[in-house]
Amino acid sequence: MLVRSVPATVASRLRRELVADVVDVPVRGHVPFSAASESVLGLLIVQGLLLRSVAAAGRRTVELLGPGDLVRPWQDDGPLAVLPSASAWAALEPTRLIVLDGEFAAVAYRFPGIADELLRRVIERSHALAVRLAIASIPSLPQRLLALLWHLADRWGIVEPDGVRIPLRLSHQVLAELVCAQRPSVTVAVKELVGAGQASRVAGGWLLLGAMPALEADVSAPHLAALAAM
């Protein structure tokens, strides 16, 4: 997973020699913080789905994290911030994490390709959060919800004859928090998308039907000029 930028012969040796502790989190279980120490670089998700919930100013939002994401649940300065916030972690599916300890860090320093891969994953996570922030500003809730589902499909979607399946068991409450809306409103929006033949609930997840809607990124000259003026 992390050695694709490392020469094949070296990667094969690392797979045999590197041994790491594993943390298994059951459904609805909380991610243990016991792995936290100065020598631990982080926890790498290799299986399952984690939900990170953040509450601030009486509002709550969530972040979905899956295989390949690097997390540090113990790194949380929210309670000490000027605007205090609180974070909580839970598993939506049976989840397995690998503890990237000091031994792993020492190897990563010797092979820049590993560190580059970790950095790439951290940057991708920040980019995904920025896209979600843009989605949250879409005025129409059904369109906001549809854009979110396609955004999730970009990472987790599986192309099938009937459409693109998203194998994520996301309740209306979780979807509501992802699109910054109330659960009853999301239930209505889901019915609208289903009625329009754009999405449907299937066993183990969601199915997107038809082509992705024309919600294009604004890369026009006025948009770029506005960015330059900031």
212 secondary structure, DSSP code = P
Q: Domain of residue 87: give its range.
A: 8-134
Query: What is the number of structural domains in the chain?
Result: 2
Do 185 and 103 fall within a single domain? no
Q: Sheet of 158-160: strands edge to edge?
A: 158-160, 163-166, 205-208, 199-202
Band (pLDDT 50/70/90 cuts) for residue 126 is very high
193 assigned to some structural domain: yes
Band (pLDDT 50/70/90 cuts) for residue 200 is very high
43 secondary structure, DSSP code = E
Do 144 and 127 fall within a single domain? no
Q: Is the pLDDT of residue 3 over 60?
A: no
Q: Residue range 125-146: average pLDDT?
A: 94
Q: Residue range 138-157: average pLDDT?
A: 95
Do 42 and 107 fall within a single domain? yes
Distance CA 102, CA 134 (A): 37
Q: Smallest Cα–Cα separation from 88: which of 30, 169, 175, 23?
A: 30
Q: Residue range 70-91: average pLDDT?
A: 87
Do 51 and 115 fall within a single domain? yes
In this prediction, residue 106 carries a pLDDT of 80
Band (pLDDT 50/70/90 cuts) for residue 227 is low
Q: Is the pLDDT of residue 98 over 70?
A: yes
Handedness of CA 138, 144, 148, 150 (dihedral sign): negative
Do 95 and 196 fall within a single domain? no
Q: Structure tokens of 13?
A: 């040796």
Weakest-pLDDT range from 109-118, 160-169, 179-188 = 109-118
Distance CA 63, CA 177 (A): 9
Do 86 and 36 fall within a single domain? yes
Q: Residue range 204-216: average pLDDT?
A: 81
E strands, the chain, are 22-25, 42-47, 50-56, 59-65, 70-71, 85-91, 95-100, 158-160, 163-166, 199-202, 205-208
Residue with structure tokens 């754009």?
Answer: 198
Q: Is the pLDDT of residue 173 over 70?
A: yes
Distance CA 217, CA 138 (A): 12
Do 52 and 117 fall within a single domain? yes
- State the first-to-last Cα distance of the chain, in angstroms, to the nearest integer: 39
3-state secondary structure 15-42: HHHCCCCEEEECCCCCCCCCCCCCCCCE
Q: How many CA atoms lie within 13 A of 15 on its CB side?
A: 11
Band (pLDDT 50/70/90 cuts) for residue 119 is confident
Q: Is the pLDDT of residue 101 over 70?
A: yes
At residue 49, the 3 state secondary structure works out as coil
Distance CA 209, CA 190 (A): 13
